[in-house]
Amino acid sequence: MVEQKKNPRKSLLWYCVIVLAVIALLNTILMPQLNRMQTKEVDYSTFLDMLDEGKIAKVQMEGETIAFVSNDEQDPFIYMTGAWDDPDLVDRLRTAGVDFGKVVPKEESPWISLLFGLILPTALLWGAGYLLMRNMQKKMGGPNAMSFGKSNAKIYVAAQTGKTFADVAGEDEAKEALKEIVDFLHDPKKYESIGASMPKGALLVGPPGTGKTLLAQAVAGEAHVPFFSISGSEFVEMFVGMGAAKVRDLFKQAQDKAPCIVFIDEIDTIGKKRDGAGFTGNDEREQTLNQLLTEMDGFDGRKGVVILAATNRPDSLDKALLRPGRFDRRIPVELPDLKGREAILRVHAQDVKMGPDIDFAAIARATAGASGAELANIINEAALRAVRMGRYAVTQEDLEESVEVVIAGYQRKSAVIPPKEKQIVAYHEIGHALVAARQTNSAPVAKITIVPRTSGALGYTMQVPEDESVLMSKEEIFNKIATLTGGRSAEELVFGTCTSGASNDIEQATKLARSMITKLGMSDTFGMIALETESNKYLGGDSSMACSEGTAQAVDQEAISLIRKAHEKAISILKENMAPLHELAHYLLEKETITGEEFMAILKKYDEKPALEQNTKE
């Protein structure tokens, strides 16, 4: 991978201090010598007077010139005078104790003059300019901020991606759609002979964490071609026109290295819809999009340049980007199903030491709706837990606990809950479990716990369906709402009051009830009419009402009525099962965590009692 080296992060102030210190040091060393080189001419009589007064420390006699210095350290001058025909002068100097030696320093080398007069000041100025420029680069977006017009794409060769389709699990349909691109890159003549041309671009669409980037790397690894990877945000610059220049440079590099694959991650950053007025608020972003459209039209797809892009916001992309001839194919990369989750778990477990008793199918059933990234995190959390527990291999217990960690957070073992509140939590969770168990079309209870979690939950009831279903009936959704109200119903029946512990249950129940009315057409009043629109479905879904205020008020009333009926059903079920409710709650208080098997074993005792009583009467 071609990457730029990181510059050391030292502040500009630190470098300025260093420069000033060097200048001060040079001034301390050199300036006394320069000052000492100042000369002063005097007449011969002054020289003799200073000699008689004992003020001369050193003298140099050369030809007709006498140079001498004073013994006064505060006197910086080198005195110069003409030599007279005086045969007694040397004796007088010796008698006065004057030293004979070099007074005038040797003439400075021209190289030293060049160094201190030109090179050193120039280097200091250049260094200060370089540091100032680098500081600007940091503030403006990193070391590439001043590389105007150059693409920041990371270039991988085939061996560096290290990914193949064998590393991608749970996305069989997406792999099949991409294998044709790999085949084209391997043998383009097969397609040219029949007159077929390969799609120029393929758009990978799906929720975060489903493996869109991994699929793109696997295509490059299978095809054994260079792989250009760049994020859409890297095209966005503070200067207008720079993003478009980067697009041109990227496609130029791709043409030079064809056949190759260009992967643009998060393409919605630069590919958002342009409004009808032709004005968007960000001219730079629009110019970048226009340049991308032009380049995709301009390059020859027969050379083997394939453009792959990924996004989780397909509804926000410009229509011009999605038309045939640009991104011809739209490949969904959805959340994996039960079989896909099991395959993904097995792939990520290859590099982890696993115990002999691992049941990946059970973990896959417990993780409905999980993405590939979340499943990889579950395997890693299980490995970390095994290390904490002092084991050398991951067990089934580690995997089950890691599922709970991802769903509800870590256990808060240090949390202190008052006995009264703990009792309320126990009845609350048993209320959920009992209502679920006494209803048809309801997922079996797998675990009940009142151990607090870091997510804020004081306890939870885990239901794991035996088989994964794609469709949900009206009865199933209503039963799920009733199950959600079971916790609050148990509090009301046993303690005659209610607490704030049902806030999350209320939120989920309300969401389900409104969905039945506004999106799923399960309302007796409104029938099959969509009263709500949803956007960004891959990012949680932002919903907005698409009806009048009067209709919205009627929707609210029907949702209230629906939840009230579910609440009444839950209370009715619990009233018929008060004995098992009390026994199970006390058992949960004692154990803090019970399995679905333990829960059903106690509940079955009460199912057998009526039959036993009937037999006794007969």
Give which of 378, 314, 302 is closest to 346, Cα–Cα: 378
Residue 600 host element (H or E): helix 596-617
- Helix axes 549-575 and 419-437, enclosed angle (nearest 10): 100
Q: Is residue 272 helix, strand or coil?
A: strand
The answer to whether the bond into 259 is cis (omega within 30° of 0) is yes
Strand partners for 61: 66
Q: How is residue 528 annotated by DSSP?
A: S
Distance CA 129, CA 49 (A): 56
Which residues are catalytically annotated? Answer: 429
3-state secondary structure of 101: coil
**Do residues 184 and 191 make contact, with C-beta atoms less than 8 angstroms apart?**
yes
Q: Quickly list DSSP for 205-238.
A: E--TTSSHHHHHHHHHHHHT--EEEEEGGGG--S
Residues 6+ apart with CB under 8 A from 170: 211, 336, 337, 339, 340, 341, 343, 344, 372
DSSP letter at 512 equals H
The backbone region for 369, taken as left when phi is positive above 0, alpha when psi lies in -120 to 50, beta otherwise, is: left
